[in-house]
Homo-oligomer: A and B are copies of this chain.
Amino acid sequence: MRATTIHAPGDIRWEEVPDPTIAAPTDAIVRVLVGCVCGSDLWRYRGIEAIVRPGATIGHECVGEIVEVGEQVRDFRVGDVVVVPFVHCDGTCANCLAGVQSACVNMGFTASGQGEYARVTQADGSLVRVGTAAEPPSAAVLPSLLALSDVMATGWHAAVSAGVRPGATAVVVGDGAVGLCGVIAARQLGAERVIALSRTPARRALAAEFGATDVIAERGAEAEAWIAEATDGVGADAVLECVGTTDSMATAFAVARAGATVGFVGVPAGVEDFPIRRAFGRNIGLAGGMAPVRRYLPELLGLVLDGAIDPGRVFDLTLPMAQAADGYRAMDERRAIKVLLQP
């Protein structure tokens, strides 16, 4: 098959690779209907995170049609159209039962979500059916279903982890697709005020459309002062940290009220100086991590199908997979929020 690969920082290719095959009886192979580029893919693209094997396939989010299942797969069959969570889980281990499917003892990852085919390990535990080859989801809803494979579930995890409650004032640090989905999540969980930090016009507009009550251009100490002023000096009830750098983490802890929790979901590729003394002195907690996508999928799917949320709007550029390299460039240069790729 052909798939998107990464050879070196900045070197994305669309090329022939071996077809994925059933390696374990719990696997399934899907034909990718839509895939996309993730903010976390950029860590390798930018050379911040090492590329383990040059030429490896890249991309972990997709919606696909099952073309083959292992002999132990019971709940799915060839022809099912499924949302593929970026992290796979068996649904039966102690961690899955505790709601931490992203730490499943049989955890796996989608490896070629930007390719023609992808393998899902632990198909029964991981997948959620959204149609069949005969009755596929509509093209209109497909981007939102794709968003459920990672960014919407991840933004949701940030809000849940931060303990957003009805009436709360929530701050969202990060205006990438995850942060924007975090705005959706905070509103759905009842936040009365959602303050998003963004300077980019397209992202500011989308944050507002997703329900942010305030979109501020301030950063660092200025953002802290703005939020202190807006909350009578108390700080935010809940903070969603959707970036994963020293600066974003510092801002998150600086704007949180005493006793609040920072829900963090940005892959911490660059947090060198965690604000532990601030956490201690103000009793500000940290919760979150890699999102247990499967835990939230049924609820989020319901919200998408009901039309309550439309996270697919984070895709503001659609390209054929053969032009994936252009998609990476566009995201790297912040010309696109998130790039949808079609085979």
Contact = CB atoms under 8 A, between A and B. Distances in A.
Given A94-B257, A264-B280, A268-B277, 6 more contacts: A94-B234, A95-B257, A103-B283, A282-B289, A284-B289, A285-B285
A271 B281 contact: no
Given A276-B268, A276-B271, A280-B267, A103 B285 contact: no
A299 B277 CA distance: 28
A283 B289 contact: yes
A286 B279 contact: yes
A250 interface: no
Interface in A246-287: 257-259, 261, 264, 267-268, 271, 274, 276-277, 279-287
A277 B99 CA distance: 19
17 contacts: A94-B232, A95-B234, A95-B258, A98-B257, A100-B283, A102-B283, A103-B258, A103-B259, A267-B280, A268-B277, A274-B274, A274-B276, A279-B286, A281-B290, A283-B289, A285-B285, A285-B286
A182 to B, nearest CB: 16
A35 interface: no
Interface residues of A, number: 36
Contact of A289 (B98, B234, B271, B280): B280
A48 to B, nearest CB: 13
Residue of A102, A233, A264, A286 most packed against chain B (CB within 10 A): A286
A258 B288 contact: no
B94 A281 contact: no
A91 interface: no
B283 A285 contact: no
Interface of A: 94-95, 98-100, 102-103, 105, 161, 232-234, 257-259, 261, 264, 267-268, 271, 274, 276-277, 279-290, 292
A102 B283 CA distance: 8
Nearest to A280: B289
Contacts of A280: 264, 267-268, 288-290
Contact of A286 (B103, B259, B281, B286): B286
A282 B292 CA distance: 10
A259 B99 contact: yes
B103 A282 contact: yes
Nearest to A258: B103
A116 to B, nearest CB: 30
A281 B288 CA distance: 9
The 8 closest A-B pairs by CB, nearest first: A103-B258, A285-B287, A274-B274, A283-B289, A100-B259, A100-B258, A280-B289, A286-B286
A291 to B, nearest CB: 9
A216 to B, nearest CB: 22
A115 to B, nearest CB: 25
Contacts of A161: 285
